């Protein structure tokens, strides 16, 4: 059975970040004990990743590179913002040091109500600097691995994937969903 839409693929791999000097550093590993399992064509993986996996079969090796423009985009300096520390107060009007610390990922609300994750970069006496860039923005990714299993997705798995906003196509805005999942309350 080959990897195609609505097939569940199980993979082992190493993901390297390629430096400007061409040297590679292991960033992520999926092992036999903890493999990557995803449903192909359901928006769970980067489109370039899925494109590289199409047609692969059990025991097939893979080795491909995804450039920043195919992954998480270029690093955008405008995504780094310094905000008033009071925005990070808890219900007791105190700074929430338990959840907000350098390196922490914190949810932030955009002006249009979306929730996005930001990484806390620096905390001063009265300000918090956050970075809205994806941690892998600007990075070239190199995947080397092997397909362990390919199987049909079960109806239950597909239903779970297609819960409102989870089909990977409508991103929660089901009024603009162009997929045929028919699971969103329009």
Per residue in 141-172, pLDDT tens? 999 999 999 999 998 888 888 874 544 444 44
The answer to whether 98 touches 89, Cβ cutoff 8 Å, is no
Query: Is 2.60.40.10 the CATH classification of the domain at 77-131?
Result: no
Residue 75 has pLDDT above 50, yes or no: yes
Averaged pLDDT of the chain: 88
The answer to whether 39 touches 33, Cβ cutoff 8 Å, is no
| Cα separation, 162 vs 179, whole angstroms | 10
- What pTM does this model have? 0.76
| pLDDT of amino acid 165 | 52
Residue with the bigger pLDDT between 117 and 163: it is 117
The CATH class of the 7-72+138-153 domain is: alpha beta
| pLDDT of amino acid 104 | 95
Domain boundaries for CATH 3.10.50.40 within the chain:
7-72+138-153
| pLDDT of amino acid 113 | 87
Average pLDDT for residues 118-127, to the nearest whole number?
95
| Cα separation, 81 vs 118, whole angstroms | 10
Domain boundaries for CATH 2.40.10.330 within the chain:
77-131
DSSP codes joined into one string, the chain? -B--TTEEEEEEEEEEEEPTTS-EEEEEEE-SSS-EEEETTTTSS-HHHHHHHTT-BTT-EEEEEE-GGGTT----GGGEEEEEGGGGB-TTSSB-TTT--TT-EEEEE-TTS-EEEEEEEEE-SSEEEEE-S-TTTT-EEEEEEEEEEEEEPPHHHHHHHTSTT-SSSSTT-GGG--SS---S--
Residue with the bigger pLDDT between 185 and 138: it is 138
Per residue in 27-36, pLDDT tens? 999 999 999 9
Q: Which residues contact 125 (CB under 8 A, 6 or more apart)?
A: 85
| pLDDT of amino acid 179 | 47
The answer to whether 6 touches 162, Cβ cutoff 8 Å, is no
Under the banding of pLDDT at 50, 70 and 90, the label for residue 9 is: very high
Average pLDDT for residues 65-88, to the nearest whole number?
95
């Amino acid at each position: 059975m080959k990897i195609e839409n609505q097939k569940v693929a199980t993979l082992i791999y190493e993901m390297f970040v390629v430096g400007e000097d061409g040297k590679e550093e292991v960033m992520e590993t999926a092992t036999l004990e903890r493999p990557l399992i995803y449903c192909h064509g359901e928006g769970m993986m980067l489109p370039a990743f899925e494109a590289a996996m199409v047609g692969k079969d059990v025991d097939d090796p893979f080795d491909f590179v995804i450039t920043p423009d195919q992954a998480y985009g270029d690093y955008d300096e405008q995504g780094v913002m310094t905000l008033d520390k009071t925005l990070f107060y808890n219900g007791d009007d105190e700074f929430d040091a338990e959840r907000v610390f350098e390196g922490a990922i914190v949810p932030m609300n955009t002006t249009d109500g979306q929730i996005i994750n930001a990484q806390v970069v620096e905390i001063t006496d009265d300000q918090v600097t956050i970075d809205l860039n994806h941690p892998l923005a600007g990075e070239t990714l190199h995947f080397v691995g092997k397909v362990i299993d390919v199987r049909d997705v079960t109806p239950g798995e597909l239903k779970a994937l297609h819960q409102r906003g989870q089909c990977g196509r409508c991103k929660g805005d089901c009024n603009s969903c162009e997929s045929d999942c028919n699971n969103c309350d329009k």
